[in-house]
Structure 1
């Protein structure tokens, strides 16, 4: 079949997310991807050494299905539902990215200067992965959850700490893009 797939409009995907959130709140569950790392560590026996990982991971089996769904859904979306058209970026953004060394800015969602095996296994790529992984892990633990947990579950249940965390995520993103990104590239 040769047809163009469009993303679902907000008036379909938004209510579906709201329905899932309502069901999670109704059944007393919270959603967040970072909690699955704790579950995986507990499954591997980390609770024998560290108190933080000592809990009944079987209570979180439903959330592991969410991880499996995200991986499978990402695979399906990338391999079968992606539209290979170029991204319509602002010409100023394209020029700025060219100055940073991105040759085909806007040609794809994942620029090969960052998302290729060659880039990942370079010294710069490994340093970015290790530093970024540490910062994400530290920030997730310090904030008491990840962006999806705070922005979707926390805001849905009107939690002030989640609102503060989401504001912090946006400020951090702005600092990264406008101050640190030019220094890295």
Structure 2
């Protein structure tokens, strides 16, 4: 019976320490740490939006260069929708993995996926085994997976480190960067 009471008191102590840590975060003074968290997550949202919407400017150019005028509608649609499909898959996959392995660990992985896939898109070319639109579709699905991981992880990490009285403003600042990313395309 005493082992049960010890285990129970250990769990109670752990819960008390968690409550104290959360209270410190909620009552902390707003400072550079919070601004930096907003900037890091905001830059991620900015680049995500830019990457998702900039393709609308690229597909007409691909049509002129490779297809003598306009890109066939099925290829145009595939290139434009591929990142959205990847985003859906990334949100589900990274949400599950972040719950299992931890948000901070997964946050860096999604960033690496975005970087590699963006470079892959930029370096894609016409080949004998794979057409340029097919390569772009594959890379855009992969970049979408990374973007899908960035959406929930950035939002949750920013929210976790925000003080209670500034949480709404910090989240609004992070999500506003999507609009700026779209505006720059």
TM-score, with normalisation over the residues of structure 2? Answer: 0.29
Question: Which structure exhibits the higher relative contact order, with contacts defined as CA atoms closer than 8 Å and separated by 6 or more residues?
Answer: 2
Greater per-residue helix proportion: 2
- Larger Rg, first or second structure (1 or 2): 2
